[in-house]
Structure 1
């Protein structure tokens, strides 16, 4: 492995590991502290334990296993491969970090699905009549990384990253 490829793999791996570790720690804390209660931190931010058997936002939770299981288990594995390959392909340090965030988040939710049969979500945003489905740190990491990657691609290029 050439030096720059090793560096990219290290950055990707460390980022993915950090996201995975923080995701599992926060999910375990949520499982411990939110079993029988909800906590409102701010008028719009609540901690609520939800066991999500579907994909994002609970989609496919009621779908037949023939459809649901391949999507739930194969898609994160594909995401890990694609994000790593993209991190290697694109120059700069930002992309391996962002792709590591996606990979770590995908692996965090895959871990829950494989070992528990569901994903533990616990962050719930709502205000007035508006609400967003519960999510977790893995989901937030994936969404943030994709948003930043899109901004990187759409905004005028000023520097190397």
Structure 2
């Protein structure tokens, strides 16, 4: 039940921020996120495709591929839940799924994903993303590190 709570909480936080961004006038963006000293800028971007608008002209793929991937991850988590142990794996899958659910909601309901912040450092200045993206990245990174540790231990 804790893992479902993680998924719901992370998706809800991201969706609430997206709602707040959507309710603001587009002309008020970009703007600095208060308290960041200009290191984080807020935007109001609508991305109808994958990263950087990839396949935006094929909306059926942009909806179905993430749905299939999220279903696969959810199935993996459901398979792991009744088993003892693997706490880190369950957390990683839950974090990834929290971000995936938020972005999937956007794709299915809005027909675009709301991206709303950028980090003002080097090439990252040009990339606008959302917390859901960060959750996916962080969860996937956790899974990668866990697998690298397992492979190292087997040697």
Would you call these one fold, judging by a TM-score over 0.5?
A: yes
Q: Does 1:46 align with 2:38?
A: no
Q: Does 1:57 align with 2:47?
A: no
C-alpha RMSD of matched pairs (Å): 2.5
Q: Which runs of 5+ in 2 are unaligned?
A: none
Q: Which moved more, 1:70-79 or 1:113-122?
A: 70-79
Mapping for residues 1-161 of structure 1, pairs under 5 Å: 10-33=1-24, 35-37=26-28, 38-41=30-33, 42-61=37-56, 63=57, 68-87=58-77, 88-89=79-80, 91-127=85-121, 131-155=125-149
Q: Which runs of 5+ in 1 are unaligned?
A: 1-9
CA distance in 2, matches of 1:27, 1:57: 18
In structure 2, the CA distance between the partners of 1:101 and 1:130, relative to structure 1 (3 Å rule), is closer
User: Across the two proteins, how many residue pairs are aligned to each other?
Assistant: 145
Residue 55 of structure 1 and its aligned partner are, at CA, apart by 0.8
Deviation digits for residues 64-120 of structure 1 (CA, Å, limit 9, x no counterpart):
xxxx22321112221222212322348422222211222221221121122222111
Q: Which has the higher strand share?
A: 1
| Secondary structure of 1:134's aligned partner | coil
Runs of 4 or more consecutive aligned structure 1 residues displaced over 4 Å after TM superposition: 156-159
Residue 130 of structure 1 and its aligned partner are, at CA, apart by 5.5
Residue 44 of structure 1 and its aligned partner are, at CA, apart by 3.1
